[in-house]
Amino acid sequence: MSWARADEEEYWHSSKFRAFTFDDEDDELSQLKESKRAVNSLRDIVDDDDDDLERVSWSGEPVGSISWSIKETASSSTSSLEGQDSSLQKGPSSYAAFPKQASSYSLSSLFKGEVSPIQCGQMALSDTGVKNYAPELRRPKAEYKDYSSDWSPKDTVIRMQRGKVCSLERFRSLQDKLVLLDEAVAGHDGNVITAVLIFLKRTLRREILFRELEVRQVALCHLIHFLKETGEQKFLLDLLRTDCAPFPSLQLSQYREHLNIQDVEKRREFLKGCIGLPFSAEDTSHIQDHYTLLERQIIIEANDRHLETAGQSEIFRKYPRKASILNMPLVTTLFYSCFYHYTEAEGMFSSPTNLKKTFKIPDKQYVLTALAARAKLRAWDDVDALFTTKNWLGYTKKKAPIGFHRVVEILQRNNAPVQVLQEYVRLVEDVETRLNLATKYKCHDVVIETYRDLKDRIQLAAYKCKVERGSGEEEKINSILNNTVRKYLL
């Protein structure tokens, strides 16, 4: 008998399943559930072995025989009453006791070695309801603390760091919420800090939240990063308008976000929101101009698209637009305006003079852009009017704020005729520059006149070899060289 008990103890203690426990520690719930699954899994083992074993009663009679059935029927009522009395005595909080059913094997068979202790245990479990062995497990008392709201801010942060679910709704006062935030920052866990900030963002007014974050720069940086990731631009703009933003570069980085906005209306609204950010005076002026320019571009684009589609404008029929004006730089917008809307009145949004006045475009930039646009259209009269000025006496003269040497280069790039080039080459004040430009662009009359004014007979004779024989330029050179008036000779 001692040998059989030793084998039985060795089997149960070597099993991979753990015994049931009523401990209330937090980490014991998973072990209890594992124990329940282990007990329930024995049903499959027992069911597989039922067909191979012969069941016998305590008296040694085979289970299912006629004598066994008579005795079992007579004792069934007594056994059930005893089971009920036993369960009532233990109280409602205890688990159900094992029912007193007849075993499938006799003790004599077990002691004689005919049945092993393992088979005996399997059949006993098979005869008894499995759910009586592993009833529904109640939740440990420790977990009810999450719902009874008795966790301190520090304990709450610790549980959140461990990945456990915690309700933050119990922290209702401002003081408790700020203590919770400070504990989260002290824990150096970004996920916990962000979770607490989301809770504060939902439960606090913005001005109160911004005021408290001003002295909590770590939490503020986490909130800014979170708002950028979630795309809450309006909330972020409101935050950056306050004085709590830690670095001025944050405002500039927020302004650069307009590059990622494709929809023109959304970009316009975004730029409008950026105007109120605490930038420097220069940056604020730049952002205001950017917003105004985009508004102008939207108006010009809508109007020109309509004119181009309807075919009501000759310039759009002759020179179809190659791209939209939306989101273009100011200089490109000015060129577009000088190309398609040069003659419009100043009161029109698309007028070049209106753009110049609104955005305070310098004279040099305006003249360069307008010259390039009108020269591309070969509108030489507009080019001439661009440089013609009148004094108070009514006399006219040509004046170029960019220098006539640059005017000549722009005209030559746009294939201006020689007569037009020569007119502006003559206006170059520096003699050496004038000769270089005239020689480079084959403005022969300018070269001959310059050498004549310089009384340089040698250079004039050398230049005679560069003109065509029998041309008017050659005759002009010969006339100067053969002139007996000494003011034209060295």
What are 62's strand-pairing partners? 56
- pLDDT the model gives residue 411: 94
284: pLDDT confidence band, cut at 50, 70 and 90? confident
- Does 81 or 302 have the greater pLDDT score? 302
181: pLDDT confidence band, cut at 50, 70 and 90? very high
Whole-angstrom CA distances from 159 to 144, 175, 280, 362 are: 14, 20, 45, 64
- pLDDT the model gives residue 137: 47
Assess whether pLDDT exceeds 90 at residue 483: no
Closest CA to 126 of 33, 18, 52, 22: 52
Q: How far apart are CA 251 and CA 30, in angstroms?
A: 50
Residue 323 belongs to some domain of the structure: no
Assess whether pLDDT exceeds 60 at residue 26: no
- pLDDT the model gives residue 113: 46
Assign 3-class secondary structure to the chain: CHHHHHHHHHHHHCCCCCCCCCCCCCCHHHHHHHHHHHHHHHHHHHHHHHHHCCCECCCCCECCCHHHHHHHHHHHHHHHHHHHHHHHHHCCCCCCCCCCCCCCCCHHHHHCCCCCHHHHHHHHHHHCCHHHHCCCCCCCHHHHHHHHCCCCHHHHHHHHHCCCCCCCCCCCCHHHHHHHHHHHHHCCCHHHHHHHHHHHHHHCCHHHHHHHHCCCHHHHHHHHHHHHHHCCHHHHHHHHCCCCCCCCHHHHHHHHHHHHCCCHHHHHHHHHHHCCCCCCHHHHHHHHHHHHHHHHHHHHHHHHHHHHHHCCCHHHHHCCCCCCCCCCCHHHHHHHHHHHCCCCCCCCCCCHHHHHHHCCCCHHHHHHHHHHHHHHCCCHHHHHHHHEEECCCCCEEECCCCCHHHHHHHHHHCCCCHHHHHHHHCCCCCHHHHHHHHHHCCCHHHHHHHHHHHCCHHHHHHHHHHCCCCCHHHHHHHHHHCCCCHHHCC
- pLDDT the model gives residue 83: 47
Q: Which two tokens stand for residue 400?
A: 């170029």
Structural domain of 185: 149-246
Give the best-scoring range by mean pLDDT among 6-20, 23-37, 254-268, 305-319: 305-319
pLDDT tens-digit readout, 328-360: 999 999 999 999 999 999 889 999 999 999 999
Residue 364 belongs to some domain of the structure: no
Assess whether pLDDT exceeds 60 at residue 60: no
pLDDT tens-digit readout, 355-379: 999 999 999 999 999 999 999 999 9
Q: Evaluate whether 109 touches 60 at the Cβ level (below 8 Å).
A: yes
Q: Which two tokens stand for residue 466?
A: 């560069």
- Does 288 or 2 have the greater pLDDT score? 288
Which residues fall within 8 angstroms of residue 35, CB to CB, at 6 or more apart?
A: 17, 18, 19, 20, 21, 134
99: pLDDT confidence band, cut at 50, 70 and 90? very low
Least confident of 59-68, 218-227, 251-260, 309-318: 59-68
Q: How many domains does the chain have?
A: 1
Q: How far apart are CA 272 and CA 280, in angstroms?
A: 16
Residue 129 belongs to some domain of the structure: no
Residue 418 belongs to some domain of the structure: no
- pLDDT the model gives residue 13: 60
242: pLDDT confidence band, cut at 50, 70 and 90? confident
Q: How far apart are CA 219 and CA 204, in angstroms?
A: 15
- pLDDT the model gives residue 10: 65
* pLDDT (average), residues 84-92: 44
Assess whether pLDDT exceeds 60 at residue 394: yes
Q: Which two tokens stand for residue 2?
A: 């001692």
Per the prediction, the chain carries an average pLDDT of 75
* pLDDT (average), residues 457-475: 84
- Does 207 or 150 have the greater pLDDT score? 207
243: pLDDT confidence band, cut at 50, 70 and 90? low
Assess whether pLDDT exceeds 80 at residue 271: yes
Residue 193 belongs to some domain of the structure: yes
Q: Evaluate whether 147 touches 167 at the Cβ level (below 8 Å).
A: yes
- pLDDT the model gives residue 35: 61
Residue 205 belongs to some domain of the structure: yes
Residue 218 belongs to some domain of the structure: yes
Residue 106 belongs to some domain of the structure: no
437 class by beta-carbon count within 10 Å (0-12 exposed, 13-18 middle, 19+ buried): buried
- pLDDT the model gives residue 384: 92
pLDDT tens-digit readout, 120-161: 444 444 444 444 444 444 555 555 544 445 688 888 899 888
